[in-house]
Amino acid sequence: MNERDSEAVGATFIKAGHTLCNIEEDADVLLFNTCSVRDAAERKAKGKIGYMRKLKLRKPQLIIGVMGCMAQRLGEKLLDELPHLDFVLGTGQIHKALETVEKIAAERSRFHDTAICPEEIDMLGAHGENSWSAQIAITRGCNRFCSYCIVPYVRGREVSRSLDSIISEAKMLVASGVKEILLLGQNVAAYGLNGDIRPPADGHSPFAELLEALNEISGLERIRYTSPYVSYFNDRLIGALAHCSKVCHNIHLPLQSGSDRILQAMNRQYTAQSYREKVAQLRDAIPDLTFSTDVIVGFPGEEESDFQLTRDLMNEVGFEQAFIFKYSPRPGAKSALLSDTVSEEEKLRRNNILLDDLQLRISRKLAALNGSIQEVLCEGVSTRNKSRWTGRTGTNFVVHFEPDAAVKTGDLRKVRITRSGNVSLFGELC
Ligand code: 5AD
Ligand code: SF4
């Protein structure tokens, strides 16, 4: 989501005649878009912004601004902490980045605004130069209030965009050559539910309607989405996923924990068993579906037995990808009131065990695809080996292959898999 916001803000600057540059020393304006989800992300952002003080001493006209979740959480305090900073814009004010920079250039004043502003959603159609793939934010904010999570506090209440505005944005992107669209939201499957926190009843899913409408756009090849909350997969949505041919067979389905006790303390509204059942229902409908997930280790009160339940469920579901996070208390989120009982060392041990399991599973899953023929969306020259190209299967495996003279970025091509590595596949064009 931050990446998408940065792109939208960058696009408003380009439209006003500015150019983006890749080297900090060359810039007249430095904008930091920040994350608050874990303490480490905030520390890293502050370190980086602090480091820019030297640059500002050499170049006093430089304008430095901070946007995003950390800006929202800390607001004016950031101006006190970082005296070389010119402005702070919260998550609801990023659409004001350009006018703020212009104002500061004229007045040389310092500025901060962290008001929550849902209308900000209107500027989100701005895109930079997209090639074959583009992101579209369909919802903003979150109403779920998982006890560990800062997002509802820094991104505000959940708001969905209109179906028409999303479809016209998608059509505009496809007309400019985009082949793949990634739909973004804290809980994309809550799209169109007007902030109601109850998962929709069977037969009803505005997110399914959105996927069906996007599936009709000619020239669009693939639709991806991240992240949905497990309880929102009802019969209507599962049916749409199965029959929409452009919707990729890969779901990022955050699990967080495999222990019911911990899930309850996290305020996650499902049990290990209901998660398991949903995965089975999805696999019944779409047999080659792959899954990735997010898991937190070391939540307050997580015992070895809770951790084992998480480990077992992860192996049972057989996630093809997983992002493991060490619990980080976030001031303001409910769980920050609990004592952080699991030591850093123990969090690291649990983290590494899950990563080792994952690596073993991935190698096995990749090896099982040896000899198969996969449809790959061609992304371009591989960064590791310039004589090869890279692409991705709909199930989200990375494939490296020898290009032929005809291959173009954004093409869908069949590749015969000839070898598997630790994290990716190798093959030849059919
Ligand atoms: N500590 C550790 N991980 C967290 N996440 C969210 N909040 C925290 C926290 N306080 C993880 C969750 C979420 C992902 C984006 O970040 O797993 O799904
Ligand atoms: Fe945070 Fe939970 Fe919302 Fe995800 S669903 S953004 S973890 S509150």
Tokens of 162: 């209109």
Question: Does residue 45 have a pLDDT over 70?
Answer: yes
Is the CB of 145 within 6 Å of ligand 2?
A: yes
Give the residue whose CA is nearest to atom 18 of ligand 1: 294
Give the residue whose CA is nearest to atom 7 of ligand 1: 149
Q: How confident is the model at residue 1 (pLDDT cuts 50, 70, 90)?
A: confident
Tell me if the pTM is above 0.75. Answer: yes
CB distance 429 to 402 below 8 Å: yes
Given the CA of residue 187, which atom of ligand 2 is nearest to it? 5
Neighbours of 373 (CB within 10 A): 12
Residue-wise burial string across 231-266, b where 16 or more C-beta atoms lie within 10 A, e elsewhere:
bbbbebbbebbbebebbbbbbbbbbbbbbbebbebb
Given the CA of residue 323, which atom of ligand 1 is nearest to it? 17
Find the ligand nearest to 42 CA.
1
CB distance 414 to 430 below 8 Å: yes
Is the CB of 186 within 6 Å of ligand 2?
A: yes
Question: Does residue 308 have a pLDDT over 70?
Answer: yes
- pLDDT tens string 234-285: 999 999 999 999 999 999 999 999 999 999 999 999 999 999 999 999 999 9
- Cα(149) to centroid of ligand 1, in Å? 6
Three-state DSSP state, 67:
strand
Question: Does residue 201 have a pLDDT over 90?
Answer: yes
Bond into 387 cis (ω within 30): no
Q: Among the listed ranges 21-35, 58-72, 103-117, which one has the minimum average pLDDT value?
A: 103-117
CB distance 209 to 176 below 8 Å: no
Question: Does residue 228 have a pLDDT over 60?
Answer: yes
- Cα(38) to centroid of ligand 1, in Å? 7
pLDDT, the chain, mean: 94
- pLDDT tens string 327-382: 999 999 999 999 999 999 999 999 999 999 999 999 999 999 999 999 999 999 99
Q: What percent of the chain has pLDDT over 90?
A: 89
Mean pLDDT of 137-146: 94
392, containing H or E segment: strand 389-393
Give the residue whose CA is nearest to atom 12 of ligand 1: 294
- Cα(398) to centroid of ligand 1, in Å? 25
Residue for token pair 């902490």: 81
Pocket residues for ligand 1 (CB within 6 Å)? 37-38, 148-149, 254, 256, 294, 296, 325, 327-328, 330
Question: Does residue 130 have a pLDDT over 90?
Answer: no
Task: Give me the pLDDT at residue 127, please.
Answer: 77
Question: Does residue 129 have a pLDDT over 80?
Answer: no
CB distance 6 to 33 below 8 Å: yes
Tokens of 140: 């903003």
- pLDDT tens string 309-322: 999 999 999 999 99
